[in-house]
Amino acid sequence: MNKRDLAISIARVAGYHDDKARFTRLVVEARVARKHLDDAWRIGVQQKRNGMPCTCARCAA
Ligand SMILES: [Zn+2]
């Protein structure tokens, strides 16, 4: 997974967990267009809403 994909997956997980602090830090630190991070956040929110299990390390453990 390259850095861009990693940042996008982190943004998705942050959306899933409504973790705005993590998302904001990601926007600052990741060299990824804000639009892509916003899209990923929304996908995470949608996944939670649809009752999908989270795949992040914390939840999968
Ligand atoms: Zn999770």
Q: For 35-51, what is each residue's pLDDT tens digit? A: 999 999 999 999 999 99
Neighbouring C-alpha atoms within 13 Å toward the C-beta of 61: 3
Task: Compute the distance from residue 33 Cα to the ligand 1 centre, in Å.
Answer: 23
Residue list, CB under 5 A from ion ligand 1: 54, 56, 59
Task: Compute the distance from residue 55 Cα to the ligand 1 centre, in Å.
Answer: 6
Q: Give every residue of the chain whose pLDDT is below 70, as ranges.
A: none
Domain count, the chain: 1
pTM for the model: 0.91
Give the structural domain span for 24.
3-60
In this predicted structure, what is the pLDDT of residue 61? 75
In this predicted structure, what is the pLDDT of residue 9? 95
In this predicted structure, what is the pLDDT of residue 8? 96
Q: State phi, psi for 9 to the nearest 5 degrees.
A: -70, -35
